[in-house]
Amino acid sequence: MSNTTFNKSLPIAIGCDHAGFDYKETIKKMLEANGWQVSDKGTYSTDSTDYPDYAHPVAAMTEKGEAAAGILICGSGNGVCMTANKHQGVRAALCWTNELAELARLHNNANAICIPARFVSIELAEEMVNTFLSTAFEGGRHEKRVNKI
């Protein structure tokens, strides 16, 4: 496993349900302003929708190596996280603090971050995404553990 940060030559896959729509739009703009390509898998409004319809395409891109990382947002973060983790090559982490976003990368080599829009501010969500994308996997003793997943 590589202990580098994410490759900017690949897009970031992002998706959400209705509860995460406003956060997705804000995070997408931030990513693009920071030089990332973004593959937006929806949803595209605040109309009520089903989170798996958006989490599966983000996870599939991440699993196939077509995306550098995945960002998923729903009300609690749990639904998109459970859905993404059904994909063999995805290690999705539910984060509600910046420290958890950092540790998800450092210790777990997570390749998708799941954000609970109803429980964190948009400012914190942006901070967590930036930390997640800029933190490298530590490897070492953690690599053996991650390989057991």
Catalytic residues: 74, 107
Q: CB-based contacts of 143: which residues, under 8 Å, 6+ apart?
A: 1, 109, 137
Q: Which tokens belong to 17?
A: 């349900």
Q: How far apart (Å, rounded) are the C-alpha atoms in residues 114 and 92?
A: 7
Q: What is the CA radius of gyration of the chain?
A: 14
59 contacts 83 by C-beta, under 8 angstroms = yes
Alpha carbon distances (Å) from 37 to 5, 28, 30, 110, 118: 16, 9, 11, 20, 26
